[in-house]
Amino acid sequence: MENGKLKTKFIFITGGVVSSLGKGIASSALGVLLQARGYRVRLRKMDPYLNVDPGTMSPTQHGEVFVTDDGAETDLDLGHYERFTGVSAKKTDSVSAGRIYSYVLNKERHGDYLGATAQVIPHVTDEIKEFIRADLDKEDFCICEIGGTVGDIESLPFLEAIRQLRNEEGADRCMFIHVTLLPFVKMAGELKTKPTQHSVKELLSVGIQPDMLLCRSECPIPDNERRKIALFCNVKPECIIEALDCNIIYQIPINYHEQGIDERVVNYFKLPAAPEPDLSKWHDIVARIKEAEGTVTIAVVGKYISLLDSYKSLAEAIAHGGIANKAAVKIKWVDAADFDEDPELLSQQLQGVDGVLVPGGFGERGTEGKIAAVKFAREKNIPYFGICFGMQLAVIEAVRNLGGLPDASTSEFGASPHCVIGLITEWIKNGEVEIRKSNGDLGGTMRLGAYPSNIKKGTKAYAAYGQKVIHERHRHRYEVNTNYAKNYEQAGLVFSGMSPDDSLPEIIERADHPWFVGVQFHPELKSRPLEPHPLFTAFIAAAIKKSRLV
Q: Which residues are catalytic?
A: 388, 522, 524
Q: Residue 165, Cα to own-chain centre: how many angstroms?
A: 28
In the bound state with ligand GLN, the residue whose beta carbon lies nearer, of 325 and 410, is: 410
Q: Could you say whether residue 412 binds ligand GLN (CB under 6 A)?
A: yes
Angle at 318 between CA 86 and CA 72, to 5 degrees: 50
In the bound state with ligand GLN, the residue whose beta carbon lies nearer, of 304 and 389, is: 389
Shortest distance (Å) from residue 476 CB to ligand GLN: 3
**What is the separation, in whole angstroms, between the first and last Cα of the chain?**
60
* Closest residue by Cα to residue 75 from 55, 60, 50: 55
Q: Could you say whether residue 513 binds ligand GLN (CB under 6 A)?
A: no
Residues 440-499 that bind ligand GLN (CB under 6 A): 475-478
In the bound state with ligand GLN, the residue whose beta carbon lies nearer, of 264 and 475, is: 475
Angle at 291 between CA 285 and CA 295, to 5 degrees: 105
**Cα gap 508→516, rounded to integer Å:** 8
Shortest distance (Å) from residue 65 CB to ligand GLN: 9
The span of 18-26, 345-353, 358-366, 367-375 binding ligand GLN (CB under 6 A) equals 358-366
Q: Could you say whether residue 361 binds ligand GLN (CB under 6 A)?
A: yes
Candidates 360, 386, 403, 529; binder of ligand GLN (CB under 6 A) is 360
In the bound state with ligand GLN, the residue whose beta carbon lies nearer, of 277 and 361, is: 361
**Cα gap 528→28, rounded to integer Å:** 13
Q: Could you say whether residue 362 binds ligand GLN (CB under 6 A)?
A: yes
Shortest distance (Å) from residue 361 CB to ligand GLN: 5
The span of 28-36, 270-278, 292-300, 355-363 binding ligand GLN (CB under 6 A) equals 355-363
In the bound state with ligand GLN, the residue whose beta carbon lies nearer, of 73 and 127, is: 73
**Cα gap 19→23, rounded to integer Å:** 9
Shortest distance (Å) from residue 477 CB to ligand GLN: 4
* Closest residue by Cα to residue 17 from 205, 216, 249, 210: 216
Shortest distance (Å) from residue 522 CB to ligand GLN: 7
Q: Could you say whether residue 509 binds ligand GLN (CB under 6 A)?
A: no
Shortest distance (Å) from residue 56 CB to ligand GLN: 13
Residues 30/51, Cβ–Cβ less than 8 Å: no
How many Cβ atoms sit within 10 Å of the Cβ of residue 549? 8
Residues 364-403 that bind ligand GLN (CB under 6 A): 388-389
The span of 155-163, 171-179, 360-368, 527-535 binding ligand GLN (CB under 6 A) equals 360-368
Helices (H), 269-304: 280-290
The per-residue b/e assignment along 111-140, b for 16 or more CB within 10 angstroms, e otherwise, is eeeeeeeeeeeebbbbbbbebbeeebeebb
Which residues does residue 531 pair with via DSSP β-bridges, in sequence order? 528
**How far is it between the farthest Cα atoms of the chain?**
76
Q: Of all helices (H) and strands (E), which one includes residue 519? A: strand 516-519
Q: Of all helices (H) and strands (E), which one includes residue 320? A: helix 312-325
**Cα gap 138→438, rounded to integer Å:** 42
In the bound state with ligand GLN, the residue whose beta carbon lies nearer, of 389 and 488, is: 389
Q: 490 exposed, middle or buried (CB, 10 Å; 0-12, 13-18, 19+)?
A: middle
Which residues does residue 184 pair with via DSSP β-bridges, in sequence order? 191
Shortest distance (Å) from residue 410 CB to ligand GLN: 8
In the bound state with ligand GLN, the residue whose beta carbon lies nearer, of 101 and 539, is: 539
Which parts of this chain interact with ligand GLN (CB under 6 A)?
A: 360-362, 388-389, 412, 475-478
